[in-house]
Structure 1
Amino acid sequence: MLYVVGLGPGEKEKMSLEAIETIKKVEVIVGYTTYVRLIKELVGEKEIVSTGMKQEIDRCRKAIELAQKGKTVAVISSGDAGVYGMAGLILELISQMNEELAVKVIPGITASIAGAALLGAPLMNDFCHISLSDLMTPWEIIEKRLHAAASADFVICLYNPRSKGRPKHLEKALAIIQQYKSEDTIIGLAKDVGREKEQAIITTIADLDETVVDMTTVVLIGNKETYTEDNQMITPRGYRL
């Protein structure tokens, strides 16, 4: 049996009971080294298969191989395994096989949802997720998605917003978004959600300090109705009050 488990943003309190019970009962844990560290108290003496960044395919193939040998295996992802996680890759690889393998995806709290709770209620109306990482998706396609989302006035959740290797991606994304949204549009930054350095910052497009944004930050850009009250970011659902 092969499980694909979403760990949530980092702390045990934000993991589902199903995720915790799955990790406890499996024989093997497979995951990125940092994510394995997050659940070290649950792992105990289990067999661990961990690798660094950009070795996702190798990890998933190893997990499938172990499950085929009859072991119960959990592939772990931060957040939700089906949102920029390992669930899709596992299912893609298995679909290429000539034999069946039982797979169960265990959902987790993704960064935008955990970040939204930290910031207030910014996702009360239609919203979308866009990753600014062009490692898997060409930047030209990311730009088209930014144009579409901003022109439709979605609340936009930006994943992988800024890194040492991509220091200008957030700046370029905001330049596109400002073609459709005012510079006074509310922005929420949720940093290191569920971890020791957790931080919530509410600002505007005009006042954003991009240097505080990194790969552990999710950027939530409001719609035209989003406002702040008592240091909380609120997007109205449309109720008549």
Structure 2
Amino acid sequence: MSGKLTVVGLGPGSAELTTPAVSRALAEATDLVGYVTYLDRVPPSPVGQRRHASDNRVEVERAREALALAAAGKSVVVVSSGDPGVFAMASALFEAVEAGEPSWRALDIRIEPGVTAMLAAAAHVGAPLGGDFCTISLSDNLKAWSTIERRLEAAAQGDFVIALYNPASVARPDQLGRAFALLQRWKSPDTLVVFVKAAGTPNAETRIARLGDADAAGADMRTLVLIGSSQTRAIERSGAAPWIYTPRSERDIA
């Protein structure tokens, strides 16, 4: 079994945020497998790569296809956005390995990390992830909403900065507002909230609010929402948006 399989993260959008290791893996692949929108971000190769595009929400099926190609001797790259290990294809691939052909466990499988949207969003506004933080997806496609609520409550009680992925979609227009309402039981209404749409791209849009009056309208699947801890603060600037950061120490800053 001479094939190999690499799962890569393209980063959040800008080509400059795709790592050299990911670019090298893409250039060396015989076959690219991925969601069609992400494959479209990969420049055509002069060596005649085959592209195996599929729709969203078929992650495990996509992983099985990639594993079968690698088992047949191909050099396969599975393409994700952001980082492949954060709510993305790396986990789906290992789900398929665990439940699939025993021979797949002998394949040469590698994960190449990428810049996840949380990091790109934070960089647009300063350093809101400077203290302890956690990430939660608001999508209930693969877990119950009650599980999401329990995790939001635990993160709020622990006073983490919270990065919310998948905050809203056409099918889930109300969940971000419900999350804000739940968090207000444990966090001050003055808690800083940052919305970044299309993080890591030239078209990024940033909005800063306070939790008590944060408006969930306008957030979509391309929006990353950062909810501060009790320590997160704003540095006001004349004629420009404030810098948002969370101190490394929980000691008050004079």
TM range (shorter): over 0.9
Structure 1 residue runs of 4 or more that deviate by more than 6 Å after TM superposition: none
Partner residue in 2 for 1:64:
67
Counterparts of 1:19 and 1:141 in 2: how far apart (Å)? 34
The separation in 2 between residues aligned to 1:207 and 1:199, in whole angstroms, is: 19
Provide the residue aligned with 1:184 in structure 2: 190
In 1, Cα distance between equivalents of 2:45 and 2:233 = 40
Deviations 1:142-190 (A, max 9, x none): 1100110001110000000011111110011111110011111101111
Report which stretch shifted further, 22-31 or 84-93: 84-93
The answer on 1:149 being equivalent to 2:152 is: no
SS in 2 for 1:54: coil
CA drift of 1:57 comes to: 1.8
**1:197 aligns to what?**
203
Pair 1:24-2:27 in alignment: yes
Task: Measure, in 2, the Cα distance between the counterparts of 1:74 and 1:124.
Answer: 33
Work out the CA distance in 1 between the residues paired with 2:132 and 2:191.
Answer: 16
Q: Could you say what the CA RMSD is over the residues aligned between the two structures, in angstroms?
A: 1.6
Rounded to whole Å, the distance in 2 between the matches of 1:207 and 1:23 is 44
Distance in 1 of aligned mates of 2:145 and 2:75? 39
Q: Deviations over 1:201-238 (max 9, x none)?
A: 11111332221211100100001111111311111112
Q: Structure 1 121/42 Cα, relative in aligned 2: closer, same or farther at 3 Å? A: farther
Superposition TM-score, scaled by structure 1 size? 0.95
* Aligned: 1:47 with 2:50: yes
Matches within 5 A, 1:201-240: 201-229=207-235, 230=237, 231-238=242-249
Partner of 1:108: 114
| Separation in 2, partners of 1:160, 1:223 | 20
- Tell me the TM-score normalized by structure 2: 0.91
Q: Secondary structure at the match of 2:217?
A: helix
Aligned-residue sequence identity (percent) comes to 40
**Residue type at the aligned position of 1:101:** L
Q: 1:94, 1:101 within 8 Å by CA — same for their partners in 2? A: no
Query: Structure 1 residues 115, 86: CA separation in 2 closer, same or farther (over 3 Å shift)?
Result: same
Distance in 1, matches of 2:175 and 2:47, equals 40
Stretches of structure 1 lacking an aligned partner (at least 5 in a row): none
Does the C-alpha gap of structure 1 residues 208 and 45 become closer, same or farther in structure 2, counting only changes over 3 Å?
farther
Shift of 1:41: 4.8
Compute the displacement of 1:196 (Å).
4.3
Counterparts of residues 78-89 of structure 1 (less than 5 Å): 78-89=81-92
Distance in 2 (alpha carbons) for counterparts of 1:50 and 1:196: 26
Match of 1:91 among 77, 89, 94: 94
How far apart are 1:87 and its partner, in Å? 0.6
The residue aligned with 1:119 is: 125
Quick check: 2:14–2:202 contact (8 Å CA) kept in 1?
A: no
Distance 2:160 2:226 in 1: 10
- The answer to which of 89-98 and 149-158 deviates more is 89-98
Following superposition, the deviation at residue 43 of structure 1 comes to 7.8
For 1:233, give the aligned amino acid: I
